[in-house]
Structure 1
Amino acid sequence: MAQTEQMTRCIELCLSCYRTCLGMAMNHCLETGGKHVEPRHFRLMMACAEMCRTSAHFMLINTPHHKHTCRECAEICAECAKDCERVGGMDECVAMCRACAESCRAMAA
């Protein structure tokens, strides 16, 4: 089964979201402190980054199990977007997580 255009786009979004979440957590959040480094928020960002990377990996190796990872990825990304919005000053992360969640939701269907 060949990679579809939809899957290729989802892989790119997952990898972008991985970069955004990890980069923002390790730089913006750590340097800003306060709400940005609350354990629950910080762990969620790490979980989101890792789940995005895993979803991209599963699609790249072309296993039908990508539907499961994409479903979980959509859930975590939606939760991360909401929490980054709550913390504030993280618009890039919010937008990226929402786009990734939407794409992963479609891939999981």
Structure 2
Amino acid sequence: MHTMSTEMKNCIANCLTCYSECLSMAMGHCLELGGEHTRPPHLKLMMACAEICRTSAHFMLIGSDHHKHICRECAEICAQCAEDCEHIGDMQSCADACRNCAESCRKMAA
């Protein structure tokens, strides 16, 4: 049986928070506001971020050694998503969730 470190539990929580935040923000806030918020590159990035966060959490939860590769990619996508959300504006909660996840995933990938 594999025991999970506190660091991994925190990373899973941050990934699931980011997944939820990106998905709900994109499908609610962004679609309602329109304009820059609904540009295809932005929405695609938010959907990619949500999915890689969900996948990272999944890989850690099942105890896969491959979580390090997934977490490395997750950190990169989350950092990019945070920048994009801040650039567009009025999306600070999403940017913060992405930054927290990126930081956790960088530690898990190390």
Fold shared by both chains (TM-score > 0.5): yes
Q: TM-score, normalization: structure 1?
A: 0.99
Distance in 1, matches of 2:44 and 2:53, equals 14
Q: Give 1:76 deviation, angstroms.
A: 0.2
Match of 1:45 in 2: 46
Distance in 1, matches of 2:87 and 2:30, equals 13
Question: How do 1:4-23 and structure 2 match up within 5 A?
Answer: 4-23=5-24
Give the letter aligned to residue 90 of structure 2: G
Q: Give 1:98 deviation, angstroms.
A: 0.3
Q: Deviations over 1:35-78 (max 9, x none)?
A: 00000000000000000000000000001100000000000000
Instruction: Structure 2: give runs of 5+ residues left out of the alignment.
Output: none
Q: Give every structure 1 segment of 4 or more consecutive aligned residues whose post-TM-superposition deviation is greater than 2 Å.
A: none
Once the two structures are aligned, what percentage of the paired residues are identical?
64
Distance in 1, matches of 2:45 and 2:35, equals 16
Q: Give 1:7 deviation, angstroms.
A: 0.2
* Aligned positions, number: 109
Root-mean-square deviation (CA, aligned residues, Å) is 0.5
Q: TM-score, normalization: structure 2?
A: 0.98
